Each structure stands twice: as structure tokens, then as C-alpha cells.
Amino acid sequence: MRADAQRNAEKLRAAAAELFQERGLKVPLKEIARRAGVSHGTLYNLFGTREALIDEVVAGLAADRLGEAAEHALSFEEAGEGFAYYAERVCELQATDPAVADVVSGRYPAAECLMAICGRAQDAATRIIERARLAGAIRPDFTGEDLLLFFGTNALLARAVADTAPDAWRRQVAFLLDGLSAETSQGPLSVAPLTPQQMYDVMGRLAGAP
Amino acid sequence: MRADAQRNAEKLRAAAAELFQERGLKVPLKEIARRAGVSHGTLYNLFGTREALIDEVVAGLAADRLGEAAEHALSFEEAGEGFAYYAERVCELQATDPAVADVVSGRYPAAECLMAICGRAQDAATRIIERARLAGAIRPDFTGEDLLLFFGTNALLARAVADTAPDAWRRQVAFLLDGLSAETSQGPLSVAPLTPQQMYDVMGRLAGAP
DNA sequence: AGCATTCTTGACCCTGGGGTCAACTTACGC
DNA sequence: GCGTAAGTTGACCCCAGGGTCAAGAATGCT
């Protein structure tokens, strides 16, 4: 790769990181190129697709943020507190960084690193929930799928309130967390959790896929 | 108004009602005209704006559905049951009828009838919540704004799952309702509910306004 | 039945996003 | 320092949706 191409790729990565974090993973690619001071043809030439760019720019960031949250959650003595920390922290990440919000609640099958990270995050979440369940801290029928769906709606809510009342999402989180304490269940749930394939479909549509 | 124009307006209203209920209030106007068997120019000529068409076609329907739900909710002996019925019923309406979903969680300032209906629905919801609160059936810090925000996210969730697992939203509703029972509150909420102006902003953005 | 008025039509414009490629420019090895 | 391979550019294409309007068609009054 020639030196100028290298430089342009770097400029594009920087611009993409900025814009993804400001406005989410759906910003127009032409706008990224504009901010990088480069023709959009160059962007297509160097990265080919949006997902390739996302994979290079966002994967590391997401891995850090989500990994840290999970690790910290598992370090709590009280499993219930760890779970509450994790749920609220992920929601907070979604609220403060649209890129993370889209990673958590989106669908990027061609972004390999990102997919790996999502898998790991999903596993961590399951462990955190399981631990809280075993400790009797949350109702036993709450699953990882339920949490992921909640994150999906939280991403949209957090973005909707961002300019108006940036903490408004916290109330919804509080209602969920307070309500999950084990004793509240009033009869069995009438619906089963979704299968992985269903989750994949649904998260795509939540994020606005065709 | 000439007889043919009258007929066309009727065909357009019928087509709009169908498409709004199938796909929500954002269907392309050209598609409505196509289904009505009429040029899209005619639609613009007869109705002018999307909101005018919505106001004529959807307002009555929404009033019926929401009014009935509220009325029935208030007829329960147990205020808490009435509240639970209302919340779940509105979510169900949203899940089964995208038009209602968009009415509840959207923003149509130029649609006068619709605005009036939304106001009345809002009032009814407040009464239902207040009644449940006075009966000690739900945590006292839950407000009408919280319920409306929940409806807003439910609209998106219900639409996302519609083709895959059409009842998946019920789990989230169950977590909320089970969790609102008065005893669960673990300390005061850290955030105040939104003001009407803020709600207006936020609902617009949730529904995907500019 | 004739004709003014009212309606309808569809071609047209605009916006904004994704994506391609021939022609130009630049870097770098020799 | 020069030729060639590598890289860049921006005009161009696509699509979908909103919206307008001159020309032509239909209605209904007299």
C-alpha cells in the first residue's frame, strides 16, 4: 500500500470514528469522506463496504467498553448488584455513544471482529444473568434474550432523548431493575423467549433493516 | 365537490385505511394512490398533506380503540387490574395495528382530530394511573409520561417482532407490570419525568422525525 | 347539447442516499 | 529524473420518496 493511501485510510478511520460516535453507524459514507477531506470514491476504494469500515474502527472500542462493563459486573460480591450494574452500565454506554448503541442493538454479519465481540458480550451477559438467578436476585424466567431486547429498545429511547433529557432512559431502566427482583413474578410468562435466529431477525428490524 | 372527486376521495380513504393499518402511518403516499387506482396527483389535490389524510382516516379508528380500552380499564373494581389491563391492551393494539401504534407513539401536530384524541387518551391514562396509585397498586413515582415512553418503545419492538414472534413484546410488558407493584421500589428515582414539551420532542424522535 | 368549471393525470423536479469508473495525479523503484 | 503501477477524483448512475403543474378529460349547469 502506498504511503498516501495509508494516510488517507488513517484520515478516514479517524473521521469515521468521530462520526460513528457522534451519530451512530448509519451516517452517510459520503459524509465521512467529506470530514476526512477525501473523495468518497477513495473511501469505497480503501474499505469497500460500510461494514468493513465499522469492523476496523468500532470493534476495538466496543470490545473495550463492553468487556470492561462485564468484567466489573462479575467482580461484585452480590450477584444481583453485578447484574444491575451491568444492565445500567450498558444502557449508559448506549446513551453516551451511538456507535456502541448500534453495536449492541444492531446486526453486522459481515463485520467479523465485531461479530466475535458481540458473541463474547452475549456470553458474558448470560453468565451475569445466570449468576444473579442462582443467587435468587432476579426472577428466574428473565433471560439473556430479554435483556438484549431491552437494550434494543433502550438504544432507540436513549437516542430519542439525547438532545432533550439525556438521562430520561434511566427511569425505564430503574423500573425494569427494581421490578426484576425475584419476588414480583405474578404468574408464569405467557410467551417463550426468542430463539437465536429470531433474535437476529428482530434486532435487525429494530435497528431499521429492510 | 364534484361527484367523481367524491368517489376518488372515498377510494383514497379506503386505500389509506388499509395501508395505514397494514404498514403504519409512514407508507408512501404514492402507494396509497396506486392502491386506490388513482394518480398520486389526485391524492395531493384532494388531501394536500399526509396529516390531513391521517386525520380523516385514522382519527375515528384510534378514538374507538383507545377510548374503549380506557373505559374498560376504569370499569375494573381493582384499580391495579384496570391499570394492568390498560397497559397491556394498548400494547396489544399497537402490536396488531401499526396505525394505532403510530398514533400512540407519534406526533402529528397538524392533525386536529387526532391531537384531540391523543389529549383525551392521555387524560384517561393519567386517571387510570392515578387511580392505581391511590389504591397502592403501583409504585407512586410511575407517571403518565413513563407509560407513554414505554408505549413508544413498545411500538418499535412490536413492529420489529411482528413477522417473527408476534407476541414477543408481551414478555417486556409482563416485566414492567409485575415490576410496578408498589413494594419493589429500591430507593428514589434519580431522574424526573419529562415535561410535556420534552415528551413532544422525544416522541417525535422515537418515531423517526427529522 | 354546449361550454365553463372542476378534476385528473403523469411527466417532471428535488432531495439524499448508495455505488461505479474513466481520466487524471502521484509516489516510488530503477 | 522518468515511467509505470497505484491511488484519487468527481461526474455520473441508480433508487425511492416528496411534491408541482400544464395539458387534457369529465362533469353538471343552463
Angle at which helices A169-180 and A144-161 pack, to 10 degrees? 160
A178 vs B153, B168, B185: nearest CB: B185
Is A174 a domain residue?
Answer: yes
Q: Indicate the pLDDT class of residue A106, thresholds 50, 70 and 90.
A: very high
Q: Do B202 and A168 touch (CB under 8 A)?
A: yes
CB pairs under 8 A between A and B: 135
Between A150 and A209, whose confidence is greater? A150
CA B41, C1' D21: Å apart? 10
Q: Are residues B31 and B72 in the same domain?
A: no
Segment B4-14 mean pLDDT: 98
Cα–Cα distance measured from residue B164 to residue B192, given in angstroms and rounded to the nearest whole number: 36
Is B55 a domain residue?
Answer: no
Between A172-186, B109-123, B162-176, the lowest mean confidence (pLDDT) is in A172-186
CA A108, C1' D21: Å apart? 45
Q: Min CA distance, B45 vs chain A (Å)?
A: 31
Q: Are residues B8 and B73 in the same domain?
A: no
Is A100 a domain residue?
Answer: yes
Q: Is B67 left (phi over 0), alpha (psi -120 to 50) or beta?
A: alpha
Q: Min CA distance, A79 vs chain B (Å)?
A: 16
Q: Structural domain tally of chain A?
A: 2
Among B28, B48, B68, give the residue marking a domain's end: B48
Cα–Cα distance measured from residue B130 to residue B207, given in angstroms and rounded to the nearest whole number: 27
Q: Are residues A129 and A154 in the same domain?
A: yes
Residue A184 has pLDDT above 80, yes or no: no
Q: Which amino acid is at A116?
A: A
Q: What is the pLDDT of residue B85?
A: 98
Residue B184 has pLDDT above 80, yes or no: no
What residues make up the domain containing A34? 1-48
- Identify which of B108, B104, B75 has the alpha carbon closest to the alpha carbon of residue B92: B104
Is B54 a domain residue?
Answer: no
> Which protein residues have Cβ within 7 A of any strand D atom?
A 1-2, 4-5, 7-8, 38-42, 45-46; B 2-4, 26, 28-31, 40-41, 44-45, 49-50
Q: Are residues B78 and B43 in the same domain?
A: no
Segment B16-38 mean pLDDT: 98
Within 8 A of B198 by CB-CB distance, chain A residues are 161, 164-165, 168
Residue A185 has pLDDT above 80, yes or no: no
Residue A180 cell numbers, joined: 426484576
Q: What is the pLDDT of residue B197?
A: 94
Residue B182 has pLDDT above 90, yes or no: no
Q: Are residues A88 and A151 in the same domain?
A: yes
Q: Do B175 and A174 touch (CB under 8 A)?
A: no
Q: Indicate the pLDDT class of residue A209, thresholds 50, 70 and 90.
A: confident
- Identify which of A145, A146, A141, A134 has the alpha carbon closest to the alpha carbon of residue A79: A134
Q: Are residues B186 and B101 in the same domain?
A: yes
Q: What is the pLDDT of residue B109?
A: 94
Q: Are residues A6 and A80 in the same domain?
A: no
Q: What is the pLDDT of residue B170?
A: 97
Beta-carbon-side half-sphere exposure of residue B32 (alpha carbons within 13 Å): 34
Q: Are residues A44 and A68 in the same domain?
A: no
Residue B125 has pLDDT above 90, yes or no: yes
Residue of B153, B186, B203, B206 for testing the chain A interface, max A β-carbons within 10 Å? B153
Segment B90-117 mean pLDDT: 96
Q: Which nucleotides of strand D lie within 7 A of protein CB? A: 6-11, 16-22, 26-28
Range from A14-28, A181-195, B169-183 that averages highest in pLDDT: A14-28
A179 vs B146, B184, B205: nearest CB: B184
| Mean pLDDT, chain A, integer | 96
Q: Indicate the pLDDT class of residue B187, thresholds 50, 70 and 90.
A: confident
Q: Are residues A135 and A38 in the same domain?
A: no
Segment B200-209 mean pLDDT: 91
Segment B71-94 mean pLDDT: 98
Share of chain A above pLDDT 70, in %: 100
Q: Are residues B150 and B96 in the same domain?
A: yes
Within 8 A of A150 by CB-CB distance, chain B residues are 172
CA B20, C1' C9: Å apart? 25
Is B29 a domain residue?
Answer: yes
CATH number of the domain residue A42 falls in: 1.10.10.60
Segment B97-112 mean pLDDT: 95
Q: Are residues A133 and A193 in the same domain?
A: yes
Segment A73-95 mean pLDDT: 98
Is A195 a domain residue?
Answer: yes
Q: Indicate the pLDDT class of residue B111, thresholds 50, 70 and 90.
A: very high
A200 neighbors A193 (Cβ within 8 angstroms): no
Is A54 a domain residue?
Answer: no
Q: What are the C-alpha distances in Å from B65 to residues A157, B58, B94, B98? A: 25, 11, 10, 13
Q: What is the pLDDT of residue B23?
A: 97
CA B13, C1' D22: Å apart? 27
| Residues present in chain A in total | 210
Residue A182 has pLDDT above 80, yes or no: no
Is B108 a domain residue?
Answer: yes
Q: What is the pLDDT of residue B208?
A: 87
- Identify which of B108, B127, B129, B128 has the alpha carbon closest to the alpha carbon of residue B118: B108
Q: Are residues B8 and B94 in the same domain?
A: no
